[in-house]
Structure 1
Amino acid sequence: MALADRLAGLLATTDLWPGAAALRVALDGPDITDPVQLATALADRLPALGRAALVVPAAGFLRPASVRLEHGRTDPDARYTDWLDVSALAREVLDRVGPGGPGDVLPRLWDVERDRAAREPRVPAGGVVLVPGALLQGVGLAFDVVVHLRVSVAARRRRFPADQQWELPAFDRYDDEVDPVALADVVVLADHADRPALVLQGRYGV
């Protein structure tokens, strides 16, 4: 995967903040872009480039169903504001590998299938922590690098499966209120899954 090769090369040469244990990387995109698959591909490549990597999916830090689904299973406003436990992801992952942190992380807090605490032990973070998920920007999470997997409005409407079409207003709102493309360091143009294009900006901008 040429995209993963290029991104791994970039991340392997990105400096950490002084006193940080790991580089904190968001892979921000809807499910149709499969950010978990990209994170896994990066984690497979980074050790050969001198950096161990750990994948910590944002889906392991969703709120309990009683909170997440309080307004029903298909409420786009709740999808936008209530699903991700931002404080827990910061506390248990990002802050722990940032400057002055102990360097170990909780790989998963909540078991969504069983709707209960996952009760997993903390693990060493390695040199790069990759957090794949959706709607990760604009909520105050301390990522060092953000890779945004951009899918245009038209492509979202074309590619979202029928059972996820209810989420579309959440992603429209994300574009309008956060402008994730402008905030990202790397933008992957992903309207066509087989032809992604890479745009470097932010800390990688020339």
Structure 2
Amino acid sequence: MKKHLVAFILLFLIAVMLSPAVFADQIELQNGQQLRGDVQNSSLTLQTSYAELNLQSQYINKIDRANGNFVIRASASNRFSGQLLSDITFLANGGEQTFAASEISSVDFSNSNAFNDNTQISVSLRNGDFFSASTVDNSISVNTSLGSLNISYNNLTTIEYLSGEDIFLIRRNNASDIEANLGGQQIIVWPAAAEIVELEFDYVSEIAFN
């Protein structure tokens, strides 16, 4: 009898774990209503302070409303914040519903994919955002006290903004560090979760070359 009871409990737990509801996305609205189902958007558009990003839904873990903005968390601890420009289409109980950003409090995604590409650099921004990316160009041109230099990204370890001095410290492999004013310059990057963007250094806190 005891063995049958244990077997029944195990089968029940397996059935619950395999239930579609367990793996469903969940959306919570501003009015407190919660729905379980599936987000139908393949991508979501977010207007950040530094660029308009089309984020691929397959990499997103969670969306939260915070202080009037939205914070989107993605694979590998990637974080993006700004105004959500997309409506979210949600399939629940056999029917589709579309919710405007103004109606949404949070969205939890039941599954997110790991990044396969565009993880050569890690970008930290001054507003707290962070993302994995790759560079589109191969080098950066900087003006120093010794003149103009063109430095290959392969020779860099980090580019760090020194807020107290309002200047960037460029650390190189097997070479001395360089201080340079990169204000007004851009770096073209391809975020792992989004599309190619031109990122101004005025928003950058640090770029680490992995």
Instruction: Give the helix-richer structure, 1 or 2.
Output: 1
Q: Which has the higher contact order (CA 8 A, sep 6+)?
A: 1
Give 1 or 2 for the bigger CA radius of gyration.
2
Quickly name the TM-score band, shorter chain normalised.
under 0.3
Instruction: Give the strand-richer structure, 1 or 2.
Output: 2
Length-normalised TM-score, structure 1? 0.24
